[in-house]
Structures are given as structure tokens and as C-alpha cells.
Chain A
Amino acid sequence: MINSVSLLDLVSLLAALLALALLARGWRHALGQDARWLMAAILALTCFRNFSNFIEWSGLSAAFDNLEDYLQLLWPILWGSFFYVFLRGRAEQDLLDSQARYRSLFEDAPIPLWEEDFSEVKRYLDGLRASGVSDLRVYLADHPEALGRCIRLIKVLDVNRATLALLQAESKEALIHGLEAILGQEASEVFTNELIALYEGQTRFNAQTTHRSLAGAQLHVEVSLHIAPAYHDTWSEVFLSIVDVTSQVQTRQALWQANLIIENSPVVLFRWRAEQGWPVELVSEKVRQFGYTPEEFLSGAVLYADIVHPDDLERVQREVRAHADSGVDSFHQEYRILTRDGQARWLDDHTSIERGADGVITHYHGVVLDITDRKQLERETQERRSYLESILACAPDAIVTSDMQHRLVEWNAGAEKLFGYSQEEALGRKIDELITGGDAKAFAEATSWSQRIENGQAVPSTETVRYRKDGSAVNVIVSAAPILSGEESFGVVAIYTDITERKRAEREREVLQRLAWELTAPLTLKDMVKRLAVHCRQLFAHDSFRFDLYDEQQGLRTPVYAEDTPADGYESVDIETQGEAQAPQIIRAVFENRAVLVNRESEGVADGLSPWGFSSRRSRSMMFVPVRWQERCIAVIYTHSYTPGRYEQRDLELLQMIADQCGPALARVQAIEALHASESRYRMLFEHTHDAVFITGMDERLLAVNQKAADLLGYSLDEMVGMPARQVISPREYVENQKKRLAVLAGEYLPAYERLFCRKDGREIPVEISVSLVYDADGAPAYIQSIARDITERKQREEEVRRLNAELEHRVIERTAQLEAANKELEAFAYSVSHDLRAPLRAMDGFSRILIDEYASQVPPGAQDYLQRVRNNAQRMGRLIEDLLAFSRLGRQELVKKYLQPGKLVQQVLEELEEEHKDRNVEIAIADLPPCFADPASLRQVYANLLGNAFKFTRTREAARIEVGFEQKEGETIYFVRDNGVGFDMAYADKLFGVFQRLHQVGEYEGTGVGLAIVQRIVHRHSGRVWAVAEEGKGAAFYFTLEEKSHGA
């Protein structure tokens, strides 16, 4: 029975069947076969299940119920399978579609593509890496064959049509076959880099290189290689694209070359906007030549109008506006600009005008060229033209040009002056006729030169003669040359230089040279002046000539030579000495070293010159010049002419030059003459001196001797001249003489010394000889001059004196011995007398004292006083005897000298004296006395006596001062004792040191008068001196010296 469920199942069944039928109908649809079967299975299963449910729910049968339960499990599986298969089919289809698209793209791509397999290359490189190769570049450099091997390991899988077309290959096989030719050597470096990039793990590589087509054309290509992402491990799928950039490279090269041409060309390209100030839109690099950078213009920092010279800017703007308004497309200007550093440069500007569609000017295009140098050249050319014209006008030479018919076309001022024709007179006339003056020889010469110039040859500078308008000849140097335009001559230029003056100067120079040469000859004064007169006659054609010496100090003129021109020609004339004549004022300047030129208006002028000229009064033109030497006038030259105005200043200067040349020569001649006189005097002295004179050459041979020398040695003069000098020396003194000779040669001064000469007969003669070395003018030793005097007699007298002296000495010794003996006897006598006198004196004193002491009452007071006087005198006589004994002992006492410090002795003495005078106010100053060599006891006695005197004679002073010191004078030590006592009169100083000499009364100052005598004796025994300096009432100073003896002595 059919219910709703079975009905639904039936509907399902029918729908499934319908679907199945539709599926069957569209079997050939593009749906995948497998999917179609699976959908059919799904629909079949749907049919089966619905059919089973229908018959089950319809109650017809449940036979398929179990089968249905199992089969319906396939239902989701079939659906899943359907979708899976569909998707897989879809993926396969996509892949196929992709492959088809890729293939289509690959084949149809306009870019040449390669599909390659690098797997073998990778294995090879892996092998290298495994073998330890870390730096593939180094390895490939060391093994170049490895690169070729890698190329061969590449498998070209495919190439597209663009590749075949690019490489001009007919087929892929042909391309692969010619692969090495395509890559060539150029690509090997790129391929090396490519391998290194891959070796280092990169998967992409780009480079630009060159390939060659199979037809051989060079191709610039950009190669881009990449490994397909799925093949990074194996490199089995590598794509290579090659972009042909040949045209780009060629374009770039062309652009580069064009740019190079522009940058290397002198022009600068500008593109200005047609706006205020002309802002620059485009400028070439060459603008840097003006110091600006393109960036400055392009950025607008600098406008073109900014660099145009301010003086030209307004003109340029005006011209630009005018050209723009005129409608022209281009125009040309020249103006200046200022460079960056402020220099003005001239520019040549070719400007093109760019207009918009509406005809309005939008831009200017300028091609700018620096023409400063050209402008400079134009200016210089103009200046040179003006310069040449000025030269032509101002040239002192005659410069003329003529056409090929020899007709004058240029005639400058120099030509007018030289030939006397004005320009109007000369132009158009034939030059050969004009200035040859009818001289056939000159005309022939000029004609031959014209022919030579017509042949294109120049005429070198040649001296010749041409003629002035007045017919006078003129010496000229002619230079002529054709004026060429290319190789064709269209005229002649000739230069005539007036050499008249030069000729004259040459003659003057020749005379001066000859005179200078002649003045060097050994001439006498008169000969020299005669030659001078001859040359002056040549130069000045004088009528009279005179030469006087002049003594500036005495103001005397001494005539040397004079000549005059009588009717029969030149001759010498006698003239009077006019030294005493007062020089007229007009030529007084001559003696002050100035030349004088006098031109008389007429003969017989009373100008006082006649006595200074000659007897004739006809002189009209006169020159007076001083002959100078060392700024002094030593002579005067007079040159007179009877022709009025004969001499000019130039002649005077020339004569002064001659006089100046004569000055040194005259001085030399005078010096030679003076030398001759001197030599004569010397010869006289040499010959007549009483001494023997020897002149010895440096070769030790006698050059000259005087007669006295020959007589002294017994030779003749002829024998001695040339004789060795040592031959006259005694052989005993030859060695010593050589030493003296060497000393003289060394320049030493030797005082006169004695020498023994050896006469010809062998006898020796004592001489006193003075030797000196004489030098020549160059300062070199010339000879030795020896003057010897015979001292035989003197020697004899000296021997006699010596003998007498010896005898006298002997007598003195004998007498001295006698005196010493007598002195000793006297001293002994004095001693014994003194000694023996003391006993009676003591007796007199003693008995007198007894009388006074013991018999005072018996002796009247007057007698006592006499006794006391007796006693005092006895005592005084005793002291005198004591001192006399002491003084006497000094003569016999042996001195024991040694070095000692006098200061210590002084201190000892002072200690004793101060004790005696301790109640007195005495200031004592003791200097640090230097040590001396003396007998201590004696020196102590000296100081005791001197200091005792000082104390004694200062007793009247309230503030006594005693100074003990020393002085150093002339290396000598002077000891002194000085006091401010009563002093003494220096008139009695010579008596001071005598025995018993006193300058004061006995009652005034005690003493015996022996103290200073003792001091003197002690000092004398020490080889010293003693003296005193005093002033009465002011004090006295006693000085003494002692024997100086060095410590080392």
C-alpha cells in the first residue's frame, strides 16, 4: 500500500532515474570520465535505495532492506570520491592549462627564453666543494678547463622562437650545436660569475654581456637566470632570459659620443625660457669653463642675465627683443659675460627661437662660443697694424714699397729725410731712377736687385751708395724683399739705413783702437805725443796741435810738443814756455778737468787765448781738453782749426775720449821715466856704497854684486855674477847660513848678524850682514838682497876691549877680596871695640851711681847733677854700643830663609808693644799679609823696629792709627807700616836709614838712630828695597820689599 513515505521514495526514485538518464545523455560532456562514473554510481545507488524503500514502504517486499543498509554506506563515500575525483581532475586540467599557457608564453614571448638543466653542473660543483674547493673563482682561474666543462654539462631543454630569432638560428638543434660560438670568449667572465653566484647558493643571477649570433653579429644582452623554485636542490629546471639591449647600448654609446662631442667642443649649449632674466632649462657641462656649474643655472640660483656683462646687458636685451619682434627664427650676437672669478669673456651666441603653437616665443636655444681669444687677436692685429704704421712713420730709416713696375707706393718720413724728396714728389716715380742720381753703377745695381726680387728672392743687407735730391751721395745699407701673397709677389719693400754716421764712428773707433794699441808700446813721452798728434789730425783735421804737461800743485805748464800748418804742411814748431802766463778765464776750466770748446766769431778776438794757442791768431775753432789721471789734470791737449765752426760738441767729446785714453799711458810713461831716474839713483847708490851688496836669486845664485863686494872677496864682477851664493860663505857657517836664508824666505825679519865670508884666496873675513827678501809687483819673492860690511877692524877692537875687561875684572875681584877682608877686620874691630868699651862704660855708670847713692851728702848738689849727667851719657853710650853691636852682628849673622807668614810675626811684635803702651789709644789695622821668603828673626826685627817707631812717633796723637799692610805693584809685593804720627820732612829722607841718624831731638823722642839702619841692612840682605814716604805732622809710611822667590824654587 502506498503511503506518503513510499510516495516520497517513488519521487526520489524517479528523480534519480531522470538524473541518471540526463547523465547518460550528456556522457561526452567535458566532465571527467571518472567523475562521471562516480556520479552515475551515486545516482544508481540513489535509485536502488529509493526503489528498495519504495517497495518496502509500499509493503511489496523487504528483500533489499539488508543490502540497502550496507550499500547506503557507500553513499557518502561515493559523494566524497566524486568531489575528490572532480577536484583532482580539475587540478590536472589546471596543470595542463598552465602548461599550455606556459608553453604558449614561452614560445610566443618576445624575450628570448632558455629552459636549461643545470643538474649535472650542480653535481660537478658539489664534487668540487666536497674535494675542498672553497673559492670557486680561484679554482676556475687556476683550471680554465673547468669552465668549458661546466658549459658542456648544461643541458638546453628548450629555447623559444625569440631566442632562435635573436641568435639567427634556424632550429633549436642548430642553436645548441653552435652554443659555444654564441657565448664566445666575451661571455666566459659572465658565465664564471654566474657559476660562482649559483655556487654560493644564489638562485638568481643578472648580468650584462655580449653574445654573438650564429651569423656572427655582436649582441649586447642582459642575461637573467633563475632556478625554478621547485628545483633549487637539483638545478634541473633553470630559466634563462636574454634581453637584447644592443640598440640600447648603441643608443647609449651614441648619446655618450654625442655628449662627448658636445663636452669636448668649445661651445656651450643653452636652452632658456623666454622669461625675465632668461632662466636656464638646459645647459651643457662646458659651462664650467666660465666657473659656473650647470646646477646653479638649472636650480635658478643663477639666471643667464646675471652673467651677462652689465655694460652689454642692455644692448643684448634690446637686440633680442628686436630679433624676436622681427619674426626671425635665429640670430647672432657678440657680447661679454662675467665668469665666476669676475673676468670678462667675449661670447659668440647663435640663438634659435622656439615658438609655441600660438606663435608666442617659449624658449631660446643658444650655441655659445668663447671668442675672447679671437677678440684679443683682432685687437692685437689692429694694434699691430697701428704699431706698424707708427713704426713706418717714426722709423729713422727710409722704408719704401713699390709695385712690380718699380713705381713707389709708400714713402715714409725717414725716406723724405734721407733722400730729400717729399712723399708727393716720390710716389708714382720709379725708385731705381729716383735715388741713383744718374750713377750708372748704382742704377745697374738697383736694376739687378729688382730682377732678383721679381724672381721672389730677397736682397740681403748690403752697403752701397745712393743719392739725395741735392745730388749728394749717402752711404746706406739696403735690404729689400718681395711682398708675398701666398707664393706670388705683388710688390717690393726696401729699407735704406743711413750709415754715414756709423762710417764716421767706425773710423773714429778704428783710430781709437789703433791709438790704444800704440799707447801700450814702450814710448818716450815725446814719441807718444807725436803719435797722438797724428791721430788727432786724422780725426779733427786740425791746423795746429799742442800738448803741455801740467803740474797741478805748482800750476806750471811744460810744453812737450806742438805743430802748426804752414803753407807747406804740418811741422813741429818751437813754442815758448808760457807757464807763468795767467790762464784766461775761458780755459781755466781745463785745469779743473773739464773740456772746453771755443768757436771764435772772427779772427783776432782779444779773448786772451792767443798766448795759449800759437803765434798765429787765425784760430777760429779750438778745443782744449785735460789729460786726466786719477781725477787730476796732468796735461792739456790743444787742437785748433782755422775753419770757423769746425768743431762741435761731439768732436770735443771724442777728443776727451782720446785724452782719457792718453791719461793712463801718460802716467805710465811718466812713471817709467821716474823709474828710470830712480833706478839710476839706485844704481849710483849700489855702485858707490861702502858696503858690499849682493843680489841673490831664488836659485841661490848671485844675480848682481857691486864693486865693493867683488873687492871684499877678491873676485872680479864677472866672476861673481852667476856664482853660487854659498861659495862666499865660510864652510863652517854654511849650515847656519842656510837656516837664516830659510827664515828670510819664510818672511821673518832678521836683525843684522855677523857672518864669516870666504875670500877667493880662502881667507875668512868677518862681516856684519843685513839680509832682506825683495818681492816683485805680484807679491812673489823676487830676490834676496844682502848688505855686508867688513867688520875685521871692529872685531879686532872688540877683542882688545874684551881683553881689557877681563883684566879689569881680575883686578876688581882682587880688590873686592881685599875690601872684604878689610871690612871683616873692620867689623871685627868694631865688635871688639864695642865689646871692650862696654866694660869701662859700666864702670863709669856704676861708680857714678855709687857716688850719688853713697856720697850724696859729701857731694854738692851741682856735682850730683854732673854725676847724673855722666851716668846718663854712659848709659846712652852703652845703648849706642849695644845697637852698634847688633848692627854689626847683622853683617855676620847667617840668614836662614824660609817661607813664612809675616802676619804672625807682626802679631807677636804687636803683643809686646801693646803691653808696653796699653794706656794709649792706638788703632791697629793688619792686612792679610801674603807669605814671603825671609829669615824669620830678621823679619821680626824689621817689623819690631818699624812698629816701635810707629808707636813712638804717634804718642802725641790722641787717636793714633797704625796700619800694617802690603801692595802689589808690577808683580812685586811691597809691605808697609803706616802711621798718623808726627811724620818728617821728606827733604831728610835720604838720611833716614843712616846709622845714628836722627830727625828729632834726643830729648823729644828716645832712640839711638840705628833702628832704621838695621831695617835697611836686613832688607838689603834679603835683596829688597826700603824707603819712606812722609809728611811732616801728618804721618809716615815705611815700605820695603823682599826677595821674590817662587815656591817651587
Chain B
Amino acid sequence: MVQENEVVMLLLGVGMLIFILANRKRLDLPSIGLLLAGYYLLLAGWLLTVLEGLFWGETLNLVEHSFYAASAVLNAAWCWRVFGCQGAGR
């Protein structure tokens, strides 16, 4: 069963995706690929959250959480790259 807040969140996420893609060249953060990959996985999780309410609930829920986990790991990796190994000495 699809919940409204999940759909709203997905829509907001897609809107964000469009914003990011529109300003992709200006996003010159270090290791931006990690950060954006984390966001893309998160957005995929939001999509799966909506989809699991329609079909394959168990499976998609597992995949959704897997994506969340991967996104968190990528975020942690980005923080490590930005603030951990390089930014510590500066």
C-alpha cells in the first residue's frame, strides 16, 4: 500500500534530482561522485518504498533498505574523503 508521504518524498527527491542534474557542472565538490551516488541510491530507495506498496513488498523493501545502507556508506565514504583523510591536516 502506497503512503502519501512516500510519494511526496519521491516527488521532492525527483525535483532535487533535476536541480542536481541542472547544476551538475557547478557542483565541483571534492569526490562529488560519491556524494551524488549516495543521493542516487537514496532516491532509488525512495522509489522502491513507493513500489513495494504496489508489488513485491518484501523483496523491494529489502532492496530499499539495502540502498539506504549503501547510500549511508557512500555518504560516510564522501565524508571520509572530504573531512577525514584530507581535511584533517588542513
- Tell me the A residues contacting B by CB distance below 8 Å: 4-5, 8-9, 11-16, 18-20, 22-23, 25-31, 39, 42-43, 46, 49-50, 53, 69-70, 72-73, 75-77, 79-80, 83-84, 86-87, 90-91
Contact = CB atoms under 8 A, between A and B. Distances in A.
A1002 to B, nearest CB: 173
Contacts of A87: 23, 26-27
B62 A4 contact: yes
7 contacts: A8-B68, A19-B80, A27-B83, A30-B90, A43-B79, A72-B9, A80-B12
Given A12-B69, A69-B3, A90 B26 contact: yes
Given A9-B65, A25-B83, A83-B27, 20 more contacts: A8-B65, A12-B72, A15-B69, A15-B75, A15-B76, A19-B78, A19-B79, A19-B80, A25-B84, A25-B88, A26-B84, A29-B87, A46-B71, A46-B72, A46-B75, A50-B68, A53-B65, A73-B5, A76-B16, A79-B42
B66 interface: yes
B2 interface: no
Interface of A is mostly: helix
Contacts of A18: 76, 79-80
B75 to A, nearest CB: 5
Given A4-B62, A18-B76, A69-B5, A77 B12 contact: yes
Interface of B: 3, 5, 8-9, 12-13, 15-16, 19-20, 23, 26-29, 39, 42-43, 46, 61-62, 65-66, 68-69, 71-73, 75-76, 78-80, 82-84, 87-88, 90
Given A25-B88, A26-B84, A72-B9, A90 B75 contact: no
Interface-centre pick from B15, B62, B72, B79 (highest chain A CB count, 10 A): B72
A773 B61 CA distance: 172
A83 B71 CA distance: 17
A699 B46 CA distance: 163
B75 A19 contact: yes
Contacts of B72: 11-16, 19, 46, 50
A70 B3 CA distance: 12
B83 A22 contact: yes
A20 to B, nearest CB: 8
A811 B7 CA distance: 189
Given A12-B71, A73-B12, A83 B79 contact: no
Interface of B is mostly: helix
B5 A83 contact: no
A75 B28 CA distance: 22
A83 B42 contact: no
Contacts of B27: 83, 86-87
Contacts of A76: 9, 12-13, 15-16, 43, 46
B88 A26 contact: yes
A410 to B, nearest CB: 110
Contacts, number: 123
Nearest to B8: A73
A26 B65 contact: no
A12 B8 contact: no
Contacts of A14: 72
Nearest to A43: B75
Nearest to B13: A76
Contact of B16 (A12, A22, A49, A83): A83
Given A11-B73, A50-B68, A72-B5, A83 B84 contact: no
Nearest to A72: B9
Given A8-B65, A9-B65, A73 B9 contact: yes
Given A75-B9, A90-B28, A23 B79 contact: yes
A484 to B, nearest CB: 101
Nearest to A6: B65
Given A19-B79, A75-B9, A29 B66 contact: no
B68 A26 contact: no
B61 A5 contact: yes
A22 B84 contact: yes
Contacts of A80: 12, 15-16, 19
B73 A15 contact: yes
A69 B8 CA distance: 11
Nearest to B39: A79
Given A4-B62, A76-B15, A90-B26, A22 B69 contact: no
Contacts of B88: 25-26
Nearest to A94: B26
Pairs of residues from A and B, 6 with the lowest C-beta to C-beta distance, nearest first? A26-B83, A26-B87, A15-B72, A22-B79, A76-B12, A12-B72
B64 to A, nearest CB: 9
Contacts of A53: 65
Contacts of A22: 76, 79-80, 82-84
Contacts of A29: 82-83, 87, 90
A16 B76 contact: yes
Contacts of B61: 5
Interface-centre pick from B12, B79, B88 (highest chain A CB count, 10 A): B79
Contact of A83 (B9, B23, B73, B83): B23
Contacts of B23: 83, 87
A834 to B, nearest CB: 175
A83 B20 contact: yes
Contacts of B12: 73, 76-77, 80
